[in-house]
Amino acid sequence: MYYVTNMQREHSMATVQLGPLIGNTEKKNIMEEIRHYAADIISLQEVETDQYHSFLKPELERDGYQGIFSPKSRAKTMSESDRKYVDGCAIFYRVAKFSLVSDRLIEFNQLAMANAEGSDDMLNRVMTKDNIGLAAILETNEAAWSNGFPADSKQIHQPLVVCTAHIHWDPEYCDVKLIQTMMLMHELKQFMLESGRNLRKSLDPSTTSFLLCGDLNSLPESGVYDFLTENRILMNHPDFKDFGYKSCLQKVSHSHKNSEYTHAFKLASAYTTDIMPFTNYTYDFKGMIDYIFYSRASMHPLGLLGGIDTEWFRENKILGCPHPHIPSDHFPLLVEFEMDSSNQSGINNSLIIPRR
């Protein structure tokens, strides 16, 4: 079994962030937390470009990781001196157990422009938001198979698709959040199918091991959550707010039914509010907006990191984070998975990567 952790490291509501304002103490605390969990795969959002290159990348490379990173789309329009302060998404993986096969940057503003079909709402509401997703196709190495190699040695290199995403934040734009999520799932399907053809392997979105780790800025009762977990959403869902999206959204739907939009994945959320009532804890907002979704067909969660006891917050009169004992207003998510290769290659063996 292996560990997947999803941590956010920018604090838009506070004075401490992974950027120019962060001090040596905060950076040390954040890195100690990452090293404490010792995840084989680390997903990060809201990481400033300069902090990725000057701090996170060299620190984690010394610990045996490699990573990929991309800033938000606005970085393309900025000077080099300003670009380093733009935040983005990153994925790190332990090189002893995984190799990078391919990666893909998903830019929602570019997709909105390409799929607008004359919709002013798509151009004026969705295209103006420069959030991104970042995906990687990894393959297991021999060191990952500590429970014994597959019967067929050719099947040692099993695919795992990992995506990190940061969805728009504003509660008034629930339509944008949902559309960004729909475009994300469509692009991930295209990425997997194209990569599968190039690799001469089947990367079926419904069965290939897949992880989506993200700051989705959406509560469990949102259209975003419903779409991901139910793999469908009604065209008249209230989160669309009756804007003129119907014609352009049919292009990013997996099916072409007249009443709903769908995606090709079969996902479940590793976390629920019963386990962690809030993943974001600020002075004016507390709720679950960060998630780890996984492929139901080929991955099985064996354990996860719970939330901080709410009584501790009350006893210590902590109204929001960051806090001297909690270095971020987003709490880390950590899940221990078993990846079942039998759904992908006919092998009756499971990928087990033991806890260190």
Active site residues: 215
For residues 231 and 262, give the distance between their C-alpha atoms in angstroms, rounded to a whole number.
5
- Kindly report the number of other CB atoms within 10 A of residue 290's CB atom: 25
Nearest Cα to 158, choosing from 169, 171, 149, 166?
Answer: 149
Exposure string (b/e) for 34-55, b if CB count within 10 Å is 16 or more? beeeebbbbbbbbbbbbbbeeb
Question: How far is residue 81 from each of residues 46, 58, 72, measured CA to CA in Å?
Answer: 18, 21, 15
Nearest Cα to 69, choosing from 77, 58, 79, 80?
Answer: 58
Q: Are 83 and 75 in contact (CB under 8 A)?
A: yes
**How many residues belong to the chain?**
356
Start-to-end CA distance of the chain, whole Å, equals 11
- Taken in order 112, 8, 189, 296, the sign of the CA dihedral is negative
Sequence-separated (6 or more) residues with CB below 8 Å from residue 29: 327
Within 97-231, residue ranges assigned H as helices are: 108-114, 120-121, 174-199, 223-230
* Environment class of 338 (CB within 10 Å of its CB; exposed 0-12, middle 13-18, buried 19+): middle
Reduce the secondary structure of 306-331 to three states and give it as a string.
CCCCHHHHHHCCCCCCCECCECCCEC
Which SS3 state, helix, strand or coil, does residue 251 take? helix
Q: Are 122 and 96 in contact (CB under 8 A)?
A: no
